[in-house]
Structure formats: structure tokens, C-alpha cells
Structure 1
Amino acid sequence: MSSALPTPCDRAHAEAVDGGSVRHPGWTIAATMLASSLAFVDGSVTNVALPAIGGDLHGGAAGLPWVINAYLLPLSALLLLGGAAGDHFGRRRVLIGGIMLFTLASIGCASAPTLPVLLAARALQGVGAAMLMPNSLGILGSSFKGEARGHAVGTWAAAGAIASALGPPFGGWLVGAVGWRAIFYLNIPIAAAAIATAWRYVEESAEGEGALDWRGAALATAALGTLIWALTLWSSRHQASVNTWLGLGGGVVLLVAFVLHERRLEGRAMMPLALFASRSFVGLTLLTFLLYGALGGLLVLLPYLLIVGGGYSPAQAGFALLPFSIVIGTASRLTGRLTALVGARWPLTLGPIITGLGFALLTRADPQAGYWTGVLPGIAVIALGMAGAVAPLTTTVLSSVDDRHTGTASGFNSAIARTGGLVATALASAVMVEHGTELAGAFHAAALLAACLAVAAGLTAFATLPRRDGG
């Protein structure tokens, strides 16, 4: 689910782009909201559909995490390239192309006869999302300026939060009433409205700018894919085979090759290594990976536990997650004001630690017992802690690097958030292979691990961030 939520640096990326005036402001915002809602809704509803997909397509514990990861992998690896493609070919053009690819892939998902076909279609969805997400934000940034830009981005972020909140319960109802394939067919009318609105009202921007780092994107995708495959193989079998070690070693080699390639490109790189000269940026990158990794793993596993271990319907499991988005949406504004007074160091320290306490509460979760006492307290505390971390992360990433790198830094941090969820989902197989009481025990162990990761994220913020922003 973390992949479905608009990350703080999604918003920061839009705010970092220089803007101007626009002839159709309302329609421009509507087009970007419709486009990005495809990625938000699809990411959140798939979590509650995993048991149904596994039963219908005979997917085992090793295969089910790939329903999530086949989407997250290209999205994480190609997010920066998607933004660069918009700068080069035109943001509206790439946005519409991404929506069209996402829609065709959604039809492929809905009609997939086997799990491998579904995974291939999910990967194409991830490519489409990597095209439409950064360019929906880039269009907002180039179309508005000053207070108008803040209002536009705020409206976009609110729409993303609403879509993320409504996705699991509505998707769960669709899975129970119609079937899991309906969640992918739902994308077609939304995509048609987004394309029509963008074609008619959105002005082209940034055409001919920037360069494309195809080799860097290929190396990043290959490195992530190899590492995630190896981790999924290990977690599903509870042991490291020869193939696992070969995958891990190959992934590390590809990752090193990616870093060396980016180093040679210097300022033209997809991920300029100059960013890591900032101690705060390094700390924020580690914090984001740990925190969103913990969040992504647990919010994939919790619906699975409730449905498989507790007999919840998909709709009930979806509603079980609803308080998460409600608390974040309600509390984020308050923490944003607090950050303006005290700086980002303490909110980014205490927010993840509180999140860790929420994960610790989930070690008491019993899918056979009551939701109100066993599950809800943990979800509410996790959401409260995340609300304390999301808002300050936006401005802190921007202030941790110089003005030339603000857009790249925010985009990279957003990709790191999704990569954290990607790795966590790969490791989720270790829980999904269990049954009965062993499933609950494995979930509790995963919740404890997530608690440790979240607390480590908070301690990282305390150790690496200045006492005040920019200080």
C-alpha cells in the first residue's frame, strides 16, 4: 500500500519545477489527478485481491509477492527516466503515452489466464505508471507558480490520499461481488477520461529539454530485478540456495555497474552522485528506505493475514485499512505546522519511532479475535507516526541539496520509498508460506522486524539531520 500513497517527494518534485501561467487551470489539475489516481488506486486495491488471485491462478507463496513487485520494480527503476523522457519528448505527450500503456496493461491483467501472463501485464503497468506519475507532477509544476502552484499540488495530493483511502474497501467489495479481474477493468473509464482531458486542455511543456540515460535505467532495472528475485526465492523457501546466492551476487555487480556508469555521466546522470555529498540527503535516503520498507511489507501482509487467517472478506479487509489513510490525511496538516516551528529533526525522529510502536502493537494481532482491540490500535498508531514523518520529509529533502538538484533529489527519494516497499514485499513470501497459527506467528515476527526498521529510521534522522532546517 505504501506504493499507492502519494509520497512526500512526489509533492516535492512538483513544487521544485519552475512554473508559469495556464489557460485551463481546473482542467489541468483534473487531468493530472485522473492520471495519477490510476497508479494510486491500482496499487492499493491489489493488496486485498492477493488471496483471490492466488486461488484463481494457482499462485503459491513464491508467486504472489510478484503480483505486487512486478508492478513496483519498473515503477521504482524507471521513475527518474520517466521524468527525463517528459523533459525530452514533452510532458503531455509522455503522460498520455503512459496512460495508454497503463490501460492496455490493465486489460492484459484483467484477461490474464495464468499467473505468468498477469505478472507480465503488471510489469507493463509499472512502466506506464513510471511514465505518467512524474509527468503529471511535472505538468502541475510547469503550469502554475506561486500560491497557485501550492494550491494545485495540494489538491493533487488530497486526491491521491482520497484515492488511496477508498481503494482498499471499494476494491475489496469488487473482488467479493464481481471478482478480482474487475479491479483492473475499473482503470479503463478513468484512463479514458484522463486522456480526453489531457488532450483537450493540457498544454505541452519541456519538449526538447534534457537527455535520456537509457543505459542507467537498464542497469538499475536489471540490478533491482535480480536482487528482488533472489530475495523472493530465499524468503519463500526459508533457505539460501545456489540460485539465491548467484542472484544476490549478480544484483550487486549490476548495482556497482550502475553507480560507475552514473559517475561517468556526472551532471547528466539519472542519479547524480553529487547528491550524496550532503550528509542530510544520505540520512534522508536511508530513513526513507527503512520506513517505507517497514510500511510496505506490513500493509501487504495485514490484509493477507485477515483474509486467509481470519476469514475476512476482501471488503472487510479493505475497510480494516481505512483508518490508516484517514489518520494520515487528518494529522498531516498539524505536523506540517509543527515542523515550521521546531524544524524537521524531531518530527522525523519521533514520527518513525511512534510508527515502530504501532508495529509493535501489531505483534498482538490475532485474526481470529476482535479487530477493534487487536488490529485497530496498531494501525492507528502507525498512521499517527507516519503523519508526523510525511509532512516534514517534503521540505527537508529539498533543503538538503542545492537548488540545481532539488527536482532530481525529490524524484530519487520517491523512487527509494517505492524500492523499500519492493524489497519488503519480496521478503513477504516467508510469511505467506505459513498456514493456521504459524501464519499469525510469522506475521508477528514480521511486525517486530518492521518495528525495528521504523525505530532505526527515526534514529537515523536524529543522527544525520541538523537541529533546524538548513542549520
Structure 2
Amino acid sequence: MVMLDQTVVAVALDPVARSLGFTTFALHAVVLVYSLAAAAFTPVGAMASRRFGLVRTFRCGTAVFMVASGLCGLAPGGDAAEPYLLTTRAVQGIGAALMLPVATTLIADVYEERERGRALAAYAGLAQILFVMGPVVGAVLIVCFGWRSVFLVNVPVGALTLWTIGRARVRTEAGGGTITPGQPLAVIVSLGLLVWGLYQCGVWGVTDPRTFTALVTGSLTLALTVRLVLRSPRPLVDLRLLLIRPYAVEVALTFLVQAAQLVVIVHGTLFLRQTLHLSLPATGTALFPLVASLTTGTFLSGYLLDRFRSIRVPVVLGLTAATAGAVVWTVALPAGEYRWLVPGMFLTGLGMGLPVPALSAEMMRAVPADKRPDASVVRQTLRQLGGAIGLASAGAVVLAINSEAADEAGIVSAEATPGAFAVASCALGIALLLAATALPKRRPAAAPPHG
């Protein structure tokens, strides 16, 4: 539900723009505020789970997500539409943040050590598939029930989730932790300032003093926040886990892959709708090469990891294909013909599907067993942040290239879309370079228990 909602709105963006009169800036923000809120509040979700228990926190997050989804679906028209929908989307992200760090810990509690890696890889793979299937699911819902249904569908799904977790036999006791506002507030403010400044580059211009001030302020605030967390006797999350080199490399790769994924899904869908003028059913069908290849890559990931006993095989192979595919896709965009997009879509999907499940499984092996909950929180925070920063960067490029008329109409022009894809290609290229130089050749042994 959480991963699907990041991208299910991609195909709804054009209908939303037409119905509510959104600008291009607001269209990006509808996706951006969700990812940013999820990233900023995921450590808060971890803190809440220590204080109130895993199941209570998960239930609370599900309820918040479900109510916020229903409110998104009731967005009014007129001048109130933009602040209303952006606010409710941010609340959705907060609900997601309360669920995300708990889910992995619950899985780790249920499965024995010998089965845990496979279970976590299956969980990550399913999340990956639903993430990329968002536009297809969205197209079906909108055709049948209108654009508001992409939000309202979460109400019955959330109710089913609450019923299911009530029947699950998992530990419910609280750990007795405390809730302190200082560190969470610093994380929220610093990430918000940084991403907002990055996105505003496209409006103000790179050389504008306001851009420089926003980016410097956000960066300094984030650096001070990291220092605050490291020096705290009760840190929000254990950032010292990033000193474990294999784990740090795998988290960085997840960050970069997520940055590229959100960009190609959002802008690829908008290109099909706004430049090629495909209908909603045709858009869903046109995305099939991306969805099918990413699903294939996701299922192949665990097989390649087990077959070759090396994380380099699925990750480097996948990132090579994804980088090549993103470049081919970018080059094909100006032609404006769907048939030339298919090879790039296929390669990009296959390549992006291969790394994530393998990385998810290996990250948990790289840290001590008692540090896995914190490791999951750091990973989820940086994964969501990767999507936010990737989309903010691509959005800034699009806003800088787009004409004023296209911005006002909520359209990403054919000239601007390759700029967004260039951002995704760069993220994947950096990830490939990092993987090729920093990943171990052999599968490392699992980390021993802490202490």
C-alpha cells in the first residue's frame, strides 16, 4: 500500500491538473511531499515503535494513512485545492513513515535466521513490483472510477490491513523508550529545507542568491542534525551503522536507484499522456515493457545472488542494464514515437529490478543482529529521501526548461522531459560506478552479534 501509493498517482497527475487547475510545480509537489514526509518521519516511526510497541505503531500508521487517503480523494476545487491536497499527501507520508520501519522488524521477528534473508528479499521484491505497477493500477482505477479512486481505494485496503494485523501472532509489548521532540524536529526541518531549496532551483535559477541561501541553509542544518543525533545518549537512529562499509555502500546504492526509479516512472507516464496523448488504458498498456521487465529482474535477483554467492552479479549487472536503458530511453524521447521507447523501457526496468532485493537481503547480513531494526530505519529513510531528492532534482530541471505557458497548464513539455531522464541516467551511472568499485567480490559472512 505504501510503495504503490508513491507511483499510483503518476497516471493521475494529468487528470488532477485538468480537474483542479494545478501547475507543473504543484504536480511534482503532489509526489514530492509524500516521499519527503515519509523520509523525514521514518525515524519518528522507529522512535514511536520503541515507546509504544511495534503493533500499536503499525496500527496507528495504517489508520493515519487510510484517513489521509480518504481526505485526498475528497479534494475540493478552486484556490483551496493545491494547499489541501499537498497537506493531505504529506499526512499520507507520515502514516507511511509509521509503518515502514515496523514492517521489516516484524518480518525479522517472525522468521528464523536461516529463512530471514529470503523473507526480507521477498518483501523487498513485492514492494518493488507494486512500486512500478502504480501507474498501471492507477490507469485501471481512473478509467473505472475517476482520479479520486487512486486515493479512496486505500480506505478498504487499510481496513483490511488493520483486520489482518489484529489476527497476526506477533509480539506486542513496548520497549519502554521515550519520545523526545528535539531530534525528530531537526530531521524534519533539515530535510524539508534541503529538498525545497533543490526544487526551487528550477524556479529561481541556479545562480539566484535565494537558491544559494536555501541550499546552504538546508545543508548546514542537516549537518548539525547529524551531529546532534551522533552526540545524543539516546539517538533517534544509530547513524554509526554507516561506518560499516558494506552496509553504507548498499544503502547508498538503494538511495541512487530509488532516485532514478521515481523520476522515470513519473516522467515516463507524463510523457505518454501529455506528449504522445495516449488514453489512460493505452498508457497502462504502454508501460507494460517497464513493468514486466522490472518484475522479471526482481525475481531474478534472489536467484543470481544464491547462484553466484556474490552481490556484485545482480547489482552490477542490473545497474549496467539500467544505465544503458535510461540513456537509450532519453535519446529516444525527442522522436516522439512509442516504438523507439520500448528498448530503453525494457532495459531500464530489468536493470532496476535486479539490485533492490539483493541489496535488501545483504544489508541485514552486514550489521549485528541486534542492530537490524536501526539498520532498517536508516535504509528506509534514505530510500525515501533518494526518491524525494531525485524527483526534486528532475523537477528543477523540468521547471527550468519548461515554458511559462506549459507550467501554468500543468504540462511537462516534450523538450523538458529528456532533462528529467538525464537526471535519472546520472543517478544510475553514479550507482554503477560505486557498485563496480566498492562492492565485495564474494558474499561476506553475516555480522556477529553486537557486543
Tell me how far 1:153 sits from its aligned partner: 5.0
CA distance 1:182–1:413, shift in 2 (3 Å): same
- The structure 2 residue matched to 1:466, chosen from 430, 440, 444, is 440
Q: Answer yes or no: is the 8 Å Cα contact 1:161–1:325 preserved in 2.
A: no
- CA deviation after TM superposition for structure 1 residue 76, in Å: 0.8
Q: Does 1:304 align with 2:270?
A: yes
**How big is the alpha-carbon RMSD for the aligned residues of Structure 1 and Structure 2?**
2.7
What is the deviation of 1:364? Answer: 3.1
Q: Distance in 2 between matches of 1:448 and 1:71?
A: 23
Aligned to 1:352: 319
Paired with 1:158 and 1:290, the residues of 2 have a C-alpha distance of 17
Q: Tell me, yes or no, if the aligned pair for 1:88 and 1:206 is still in contact at 8 Å.
A: no
How has the CA–CA distance of structure 1 residues 240 and 213 changed in structure 2, closer, same or farther, with 3 Å as cutoff? farther
CA distance in 2, matches of 1:396, 1:197: 29
Aligned partners of 1:323 and 1:84: how far apart in 2? Answer: 40
1-structure distance, mates of 2:427, 2:132: 24
Q: Which AA in structure 1 matches 2:287?
A: L
The superposition leaves residues 64-94 of structure 1 with CA deviations (integer Å, 9 ceiling, x where unpaired) of: 1110111111211222321332232022211
Letter in 2 for 1:390: V
Is the aligned partner of 1:377 residue 2:351?
A: no
Q: How does 1:96-245 map to 2 (within 5 A)?
A: 96-113=59-76, 114-146=81-113, 153=120, 156-157=123-124, 159-161=126-128, 163-164=130-131, 166-212=133-179, 214-245=181-212
Q: Is 2:367 the partner of 1:393? A: no
1:451 matched to 2:391? The reply is no
AA in 2 matched with 1:39: V
Judge conservation of contact 2:322–2:347 (CA < 8 Å) in 1: yes
Q: Which amino acid aligns with 2:164?
A: T
After TM superposition, the structure 1 = structure 2 runs for residues 311-326 of structure 1, keeping only pairs within 5 Å, are: 311-326=277-292
Give the equivalent residue in structure 1 for 2:215.
248
Following the alignment from structure 1 to structure 2, what is the Cα–Cα distance between the partners of residues 423 and 56?
27
The number of residue pairs the alignment matches comes to 432
Q: Which SS does the other structure have where 2:273 is aligned?
A: helix
Paired residues of 2:8 and 2:135 also in contact (CA < 8 A): yes
Deviation at 1:46, TM superposition (A): 0.6
String of CA shifts for 1:342-393, please: whole Å, max 9, x gaps. 512343233212211010111233487442x222211110122123312321
Q: Deviations over 1:407-436 (max 9, x none)?
A: 322331232122111012113333263559
For residue 109 of structure 1, report the CA deviation from its aligned partner. Answer: 0.8
Higher alpha-carbon deviation: 317-326 or 458-467: 317-326
Are the equivalent residues in 2 in contact too, given 1:292–1:421 (CA < 8 A)? yes
Q: 2:257: which partner in 1? A: 291
Q: What TM-score comes out, normalization by structure 2 length?
A: 0.87
Secondary structure of 1:428's counterpart equals: helix
C-alpha separation between the residues in 2 aligned to 1:438 and 1:69?
Answer: 16
Contact 1:46/1:68, CA 8 A, preserved across alignment: yes
CA shift in 2, pair 1:368/1:231, >3 Å = same
**Contact 1:345/1:466 (<8 A) preserved:** yes
Which position in structure 1 is the counterpart of 2:28? 65
- Identity within the alignment, %: 28
Alignment correspondent of 1:18 = none
> Quick one: structure 1 residues 55 and 286, their matched pair in 2 at CA, closer, same or farther if it must change by over 3 Å?
same
Within 2, Cα distance between the matches of 1:154 and 1:273? 23
Cα 1:213–1:324 shift into 2, 3 Å = farther
Structure 1 residues 312 and 82: CA distance shift in structure 2, 3 A: same
Report if aligned partners of 1:41, 1:167 keep a CA contact under 8 Å in 2.
yes
The answer (yes or no) to whether the contact 1:295–1:421 under 8 Å persists in 2 is yes
Identify if the C-alpha distance between structure 1 residues 143 and 397 changes in structure 2 by more than 3 Å, giving closer, same or farther: closer
Alpha-carbon distance in 1 for matches of 2:365, 2:104: 19
* Local SS of the residue matching 1:470: coil
Give unpaired runs (5+ residues) of structure 2.
Answer: 446-451
Distance 1:390 1:157, change over 3 A: closer
Q: Which segment is superposed worse, 425-434 or 352-361?
A: 425-434
Deviation at 1:309, TM superposition (A): 1.0
Structure-2 separation of matches of 1:117 and 1:102? 16
How far apart are 1:177 and its partner, in Å? Answer: 4.3
- In structure 2, relative to structure 1, the CA distance for the partners of 1:271 and 1:203 (3 Å cut) is closer
Q: TM-score, normalised by structure 1?
A: 0.83
Q: 1:78 aligns with which of 31, 37, 41?
A: 41
Instruction: Give yes or no for the alignment of 1:88 onto 2:55.
Output: no
Structure 2: distance between partners of 1:151 and 1:398: 11
Contact 2:120 2:361 in 1 (8 A): no
* Distance across 1 between alignment mates of 2:39 and 2:253: 17
Mapped to 1, the partners of 2:121 and 2:360 lie a distance apart of 12
Matched position secondary structure for 1:47: coil
1:32 corresponds to: none
1:464–1:183 CA distance, 2 compared to 1 (3 A): same
Quick one: which amino acid aligns to residue 87 of structure 1? R
Cα distance in structure 1, aligned partners of 2:434 and 2:231: 30
DSSP-derived class of the 2:272 partner: helix
Aligned to 2:244: 278
SS in 1 for 2:440: coil
Assess if the C-alpha contact under 8 Å between 1:101 and 1:125 holds in 2: yes
SS of corresponding position for 1:440: coil
The residue type equivalent to 1:51 in the other structure is D
Query: Contact conserved, 2:257 with 2:427, CA < 8 A, in 1?
Result: yes
Instruction: Give the Cα separation in 2 of the matches to 1:470 and 1:149.
Output: 16
Distance change >3 Å, CA 200–CA 285, structure 1 → 2: closer
- Which one of the candidate residues 277, 300, 305 is aligned to 1:339? 305
